Structure 1
């Protein structure tokens, strides 16, 4: 009888056949070392980021977004790139697009960019800037080796942005090696309420 550990190793090897040789595009005339989303290439991951190592890669998948103030739920797809340049932080970039019931693209949707900044006491700072005019500072910690829970300490918004007051996120690597996350938000007068969830599959790294 094979153990679940053996199955996980075999599944990881199968995934790596298509993902291990891929990386994010690089400009060959950049005078400094570029970012990498593939731990097999580029600079070594900084020791400070080892607790976040499973997140490094490019991930794509689908999810659902809903909230009491919208007509949803809506189906969306997303690409999440988490990369590094050897320094003690990770770069975070997510692009989303709305899908119809048949999986066809309706239009581009949310975009966010930011930084995962692990600290010596295992605290994680996650700074995110959204194309909608919201800036968020999350703090959190690993809940286990492959799960991370974070909540906002501060939210800043532009005068044209939606009224967001707080958010929570939980990221985790699930048994088959995919990345799942759920998000709750307090906004437009509503209390903290589930807002988005997605399951993303590794495509790079």
Structure 2
């Protein structure tokens, strides 16, 4: 099997890189990542690999996949356990991923990912508050599968990888969360893989890379 190589951006701020990286790290598949810092000379590497010239991009032999959700779908073909086994549950997991992939513009704009910082977000307008409430509603659905694990659909899935950057945002900006959402956040934050990513993010910032 050819090696899976995932090109990612700055670990402190690239939420779209974190999503497929976390799915890949949890998949059990052999891989390596290459960090390509935004605005660096290394970016020529991305331009040679990806038709969009953006990260994340996955290289697997002659195959190149250049979108976070498409990368995760590709990984799930190699590691099917990344999606729930039950068809209805799998469909819902895909739906909440697609919702994150295309939605929440106000939350993204005001609460940009900055793992190593703690910030005051300023006043949250009604559009941002509505999107935060929608995130909490999605997370509350996990209560149906609590006997199978602490994640959105019981066991860890791509859906959790897609909402992990939101967890880090809520920590960064000190967003007040209800108890059940706090428990979900704790489950994500305790993942060894996310801890490793966050440690590398801090090293980036300490080295002056934002």
The bucket for the TM-score relative to the shorter chain is: under 0.3
Structure whose CA Rg is larger = 1
What TM-score comes out, normalization by structure 1 length?
A: 0.20
Structure showing the higher helix proportion among its residues: 2
- RCO greater where, 1 or 2, for CA within 8 Å and sep 6 or more? 2
Which structure carries more strand by proportion?
Answer: 1
